[in-house]
Structure 1
Amino acid sequence: MTTPAGKRLTGHGLAVGLPARWEGRLYRRVVATGQQQPGKQQAFGWAGEQSHPILHLGNFALPASRGDYGTGAVERMGPENMFVALLEFGADCLGTALYAPAGVPRVRPGQFNPNGMQRRIAGQAGFQHFFTEANRPFCLYVVIGSHRNAVPLAKQVNAVLEQIEVQP
């Protein structure tokens, strides 16, 4: 599902209102079945993999093809851009120490780190946090286009995070 800015994106028990100039996509990856069928969408992952919801948000045009943690999108970011990925994990993660924090977190400027990126990109900084909300385990991964602009960018990211709703 894709939604234009200023609209509400819903699906898979998740919802988020998007501010102006933001766009979002909410989907579950197509998973491999062991056999590829002609004319069908190419699957990712491995046969038998469990697919969980993935929410991507950005204040720039998100490319159609992106990795779960924004590969393909973050390379296009400028210094004022932000990318948010919210990835759900399996129920087997519930109750583990990594997912013990409760609730969708808010970010602080000092939490962004250039070394927090999946792959370092000059000027950018990342933040990653695992948590549980509505008895569902998630990873929040946020990239800001400029570590130097962390204060105003963190404020904007938090405004979007406040709009995320998770249903049990």
Structure 2
Amino acid sequence: MRLEGFGLAATTLRGWDGEIYRRDAEAALTLAGGGSDRSPLSGGAQGPGETPTPILHLANFPLPAVRGDYGGGAVELMGRGGVFISLLEHDPAEASTALFRHSGIPWPLRESDFDPRQMQRTISGQAGCQRFFTHAGRAFCLYVAIGSYVLRSVLVPEVNAALATVEFG
């Protein structure tokens, strides 16, 4: 299935699930104030005065309806063979900051890019990878979690196959 929205596009691979969404300004303010439009685990909400930005989720398992921007509520459900990908666009003003100094798409990823200490929250056996970058003047964070560090040689090619479908509008 092809997903398109908010200047991002991707094609879900066979057996994969995905969604592109954006928090509206009111929902972002609610989240910043401690409420929730999607999940109490959400991590990418904008603060007051910031531009709502798109978020792309891809997973090789069914995504739960309630989940955080970085996969809270989803990665806890994935098995050893699970892959969760989150591509979050940040406020355009952040594109010129040091955090986003890497210019260009940071994939394909390597097995050595994954580490259990790269998880947003440590989950036994899982590993993560996080990259901040700019592309066409837009600031992004790529966050990927895999269900098994031991199986990274099998899972990382799946990650790269899914990322190869991502397009920027």
Please, which of 145, 149, 153 is the counterpart of residue 151 of structure 1?
153
Gaps of 5+ in 1: 1-6, 36-40
| Alpha-carbon shift at residue 90 of structure 1 (Å) | 0.8
Instruction: Tell me how far apart the structure 2 counterparts of residues 133 and 160 of structure 1 sit (CA, whole Å).
Output: 18
- TM-score normalized by structure 1? 0.85
**Structure 1 residue aligned with 2:42:** none
Runs of 4+ in structure 1 off by over 6 angstroms are none
Quick one: structure 1 residues 42 and 14, their matched pair in 2 at CA, closer, same or farther if it must change by over 3 Å? closer
> Is the 8 Å Cα contact of residues 32 and 46 (structure 1) preserved in structure 2?
no
Deviation at residue 30 of structure 1 after TM alignment: 3.4
Aligned to 2:86, what secondary structure does the other structure show? strand
5+ long unaligned stretches in structure 2: 31-35, 39-44
**Cα drift, residue 32 of structure 1:** 3.0
Residue 2 of structure 2 is matched in structure 1 by: 8
CA contact (8 A) 1:82 1:144 kept: yes
Larger radius of gyration: 1
- Identify if the C-alpha distance between structure 1 residues 127 and 32 changes in structure 2 by more than 3 Å, giving closer, same or farther: same
Q: State how many pairs are aligned.
A: 156
- TM-fit CA distance, 1:21: 0.7
Paired residue for 2:111, among 95, 109, 112? 109
Residue by residue over 1:81-136, the C-alpha shift from the partner in whole angstroms, topping out at 9 and shown as x without a partner, is 10000000011111222212122222111111111111100110010000011211
AA paired with 2:124?
A: A
| Residue 84 (structure 1) aligns with | 85
Identity percentage over the alignment?
A: 47
Partner of residue 164 from structure 1, selected from 148, 163, 166 = 166
Q: What is the Cα deviation at residue 49 of structure 1?
A: 4.4
User: 1:113-160: per-residue Cα shift (whole Å, max 9, x none)?
Assistant: 111111100110010000011211000000000000111111110111
